[in-house]
Structure 1
């Protein structure tokens, strides 16, 4: 069964004996969805799961420890979803387009985890080696795609790291425009101030497709196949 953006980061949130650690993590995601990570506490999570207030400390040293693990899982979820949504036999440009589209779909359908992954809620990130490694694996997926396109001549002859930073800033910024509602507000303001309604009524899916296509074209070599 193939993954969807909605399901790729969801875990069974019912507590079973021997799986308390994951039950606490699932409860934390629900709590973050309701009131944000800044209001999260291990004791409140324990009450939500129905265990003693000291039980979470058998698995997490403190709140930051739990948030770091959620961020690590989030990186792994993104990497798995992107890998599943990318056709290995497609050309570099098409694979980059598929990966970027999947990335945005994940962000939009999992805004709480996305903000946690890339926000400043986890202190001392470099102390968490597994979190750092998961982040690098996620980045490597895009970097490998771009490096492959540079070698094949599909992408412009430039430093792949620079092209990666360009693409990441494009989709990362667009993701936050979507999940924070900024894009909707900009569209509303534009519609109120101009008679140009050329993009009025575009679905979010169409806007994602248009943005990703422009991003891929911006690093593609003129004359290279789409």
Structure 2
């Protein structure tokens, strides 16, 4: 009995030392959020592959055992960082989109252009989080609805992992209301628009566009967005 108590005490002391290794990184009772913040930093530096539970635990200064009390495993932690990445992406899109608030076809067009610019800007400024926001790991099953939108296996709208897609969908609906896009062009338009904007963003990250100057980059982004809108606005 005494030997077991001593072993338990030594184990507890070891975890305390691990937890205190970087004093001030988290408050007692807030370890989960501290691990998420550490994982966000890892993702920003190295993308989704860098989000490892043990690495996050080391960054916070706790044992891996303590970390596993808050997350079932790697995919659980990655899912939390993925959600944060989507939140940051949407915040970037909405920040520039608010500059074009208003009614009418021109306001709707300006808003779509600004949302697209915000999307690509986030990818270029925070590539690690952008990659994590769309990583295949921790991504639930998603299907296409008859209306051309996204839904999970139960037919419900997915959460933050596709919030940027939902924002695009809402903006396209507003464009129809404003008379910018005809109702006949609307079904499935978010899929083609998303594919083109996401594609150009990835060309900046993993393709030849990463060598362009700022002026050249702005031209390419605006050209792609203009072509997307031209297709959507055609009779």
Q: Same fold judged by TM-score > 0.5? A: yes
Aligned to 2:26: 16
Q: Work out which of the residue numbers 119, 128, 135 in structure 2 matches 1:119.
A: 135
2:49 & 2:214 partners in 1: Cα distance?
Answer: 36
The reply on whether 1:96 has 2:96 as its aligned counterpart is no
Aligned to 1:71: 82
Q: CA RMSD in A?
A: 2.9
> In proportion to residue count, which structure has more helix?
2
**Gaps in structure 1 of 5+ consecutive residues:** 1-13, 188-199
1:127-164 per-residue CA deviation (whole Å, 9 max, x = no partner) reads 9xxx9311343322111111121233212443424211
Q: Which has the larger radius of gyration?
A: 2
TM-score norm. by structure 1 comes to 0.73
1:37-186 paired onto structure 2 within 5 Å: 37-38=48-49, 40-87=51-98, 88-89=101-102, 91-122=107-138, 124=140, 132-184=158-210
The reply on whether 1:28 has 2:44 as its aligned counterpart is no
Aligned to 1:207: 220
Q: Retained in 1: the 8 A contact 2:47–2:131?
A: no
- Given the superposition, is the C-alpha separation of residues 124 and 59 from structure 1 closer, same or farther in structure 2, using an over 3 Å criterion? same
**Gaps in structure 2 of 5+ consecutive residues:** 1-23, 142-151
- Given the superposition, is the C-alpha separation of residues 166 and 25 from structure 1 closer, same or farther in structure 2, using an over 3 Å criterion? same
TM-score norm. by structure 2 comes to 0.70
